[in-house]
């Protein structure tokens, strides 16, 4: 993969002076954050970790990080090993961001090998905070997805994650039952399941059949969990399992089809008052898609727009992959989709497009056009909200 530049110089071919000034300022900020992560003060270290996390999310810094990766990796290792709570959360997130920034190359593999034992240790540690374990689960999934070429490595990581969400393995992983777990533990189950599902998208077809058969019969149990996040994660995973099963065998038939369809239909039309209105709407919106996909084989049709480009999300595997990177990168997912060679390769977007500043300016609307557009949008939104005040209307924003 070719080396990507800073986002300022990548996206615009004009204005080199401004880009250079921004690059210098950014490099100074990055150096200060790295220095702060090695400080003795907990507050300073946390501030450095958060600042570094923000910079790595928003900018493309391969050329800058390639010479500093060892220092940043050492900082992440120390914070994971000796830190606790919030410090471990930030450090785990940094591990995944570092692998993404290094574009999954040999340098990223070295980061993964250095941090993996610590991530697994915290993940399986019952005394660690639930939020730290949750962050480690997500980071482990992203890092393995980006760097692992060995099926045994992917399989071993999936086995670790499976112990935290599988109904029969919850006891071993420190979660006392799916239905009895606390809210924080349920969030850990959801994160572990989503990380496992991400790795499932790159699992070789040769060993996929046995894996699908085992989990198609066990995962429906998670659909009965009290937590909406776990239910949604389980539903999306079931949709992916059916999608992969049909790719392997066009005549695929699931033995417990009737019971599963009834369960999915109940979740897609759930109106239980003891659940929050937002949770009900979100659950219904997602499980309608899951039901149509599982029952009728309906294909997803979603579009993600970023800059002057757009990406089609037309499968559950692609949806899970995009959402995983979106969660890791936050608002910075768009700049990375535009310029990060790794993401563009994963989503088959082709090489980064060099955008001329004049072309960008030509696509912008004038102030008069923006005001007219905003006025029309405001009127349409007012009418829509007035209609949706009727409680009988089922809609998810």
Alpha-carbon distance of 299 to 292, in angstroms, equals: 9
> What region, left, alpha or beta, does residue 70 occupy, with left being phi > 0 and alpha being psi -120 to 50 degrees?
alpha
Residue whose token pair is 């955008």: 355
**Rounded to the nearest 5°, which phi and psi values hold at 178?**
-65, -45
Query: Residue 363 has what pLDDT?
Result: 64
Nearest 5°: CA angle at 320, between 318 and 325?
95
Residues paired with 147 in a beta bridge: none
Low-confidence residues of the chain, pLDDT below 70? 1-21, 167-181, 355-363, 389-397
Cα–Cα distance measured from residue 35 to residue 392, given in angstroms and rounded to the nearest whole number: 56
- Residues with Cβ within 8 Å of 309's Cβ and at least 6 positions away in sequence, in order, are 337, 338, 349, 353
CB of 41 closer than 8 Å to CB of 35: no
pLDDT digits (tens, 9 = 90+) for 277-334: 888 888 999 999 999 999 888 888 899 998 888 999 999 999 999 999 999 999 899 9
pTM comes to 0.83
Give 192-253 as a 3 state SS string: HHHHHHHHHCCCCHHHHHHHHHHHHHHHHHHHHCCCHHHHHHHHHHHHHHHHHHHHHCCCCC
Q: Which helix (DSSP H) or strand (DSSP E) does residue 80 occupy?
A: helix 69-82
- What was the pLDDT predicted at 21? 54
pLDDT in tens, 154-208: 999 999 999 998 765 444 444 444 444 477 788 899 999 999 999 999 998 888 8
């Amino acid at each position: 993969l070719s080396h990507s530049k800073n986002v300022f110089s990548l996206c615009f071919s004009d204005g080199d002076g401004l880009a250079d000034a921004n690059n210098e300022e950014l490099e100074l900020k990055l150096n200060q954050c790295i220095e702060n992560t090695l400080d003795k003060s907990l507050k300073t270290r946390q501030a450095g970790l958060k600042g570094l996390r923000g910079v790595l999310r928003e900018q493309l810094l391969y050329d800058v990080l390639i010479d500093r990766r060892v220092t940043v990796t050492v900082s992440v290792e120390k914070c994971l090993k000796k830190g606790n709570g919030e410090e471990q959360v930030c450090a785990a997130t940094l591990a995944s961001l570092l692998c993404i920034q290094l574009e999954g190359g040999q340098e990223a593999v070295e980061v993964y090998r250095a941090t993996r034992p610590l991530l697994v240790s915290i993940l399986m540690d019952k005394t660690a905070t639930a939020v730290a374990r949750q962050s480690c689960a997500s980071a482990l999934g992203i890092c393995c997805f980006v760097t692992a070429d060995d099926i045994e490595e992917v399989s071993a990581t999936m086995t670790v994650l499976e112990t935290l969400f599988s109904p029969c393995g919850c006891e071993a992983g420190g979660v006392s039952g799916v239905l009895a777990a606390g809210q924080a533990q349920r969030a850990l189950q959801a994160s572990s399941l989503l990380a496992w599902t991400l790795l499932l998208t790159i699992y070789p077809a040769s060993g996929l059949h046995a894996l699908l058969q085992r989990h198609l019969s066990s995962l429906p149990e998670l659909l009965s969990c009290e937590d909406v996040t776990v239910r949604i994660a389980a539903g999306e995973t079931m949709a992916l399992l059916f999608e992969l099963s049909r790719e392997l065998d066009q005549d695929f038939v699931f033995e417990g089809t009737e019971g599963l369809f009834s369960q999915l239909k109940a979740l897609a039309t759930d109106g239980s008052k003891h659940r929050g209105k937002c949770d009900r709407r979100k659950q219904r919106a997602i499980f309608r898609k899951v039901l149509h996909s599982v029952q009728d084989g309906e294909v997803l049709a979603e579009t993600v727009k970023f800059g002057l480009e757009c990406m089609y999300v037309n499968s559950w595997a692609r949806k899970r992959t995009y959402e995983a990177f979106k969660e890791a990168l936050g608002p910075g997912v768009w700049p990375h989709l535009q310029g990060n060679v790794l993401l563009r390769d994963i989503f088959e977007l082709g090489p980064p497009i060099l955008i001329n500043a004049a072309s960008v300016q030509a696509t912008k609307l004038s102030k008069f056009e923006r005001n007219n557009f905003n006025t029309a949008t405001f009127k349409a939104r007012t009418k829509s909200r007035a209609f949706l005040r009727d409680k009988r209307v089922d809609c998810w924003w």
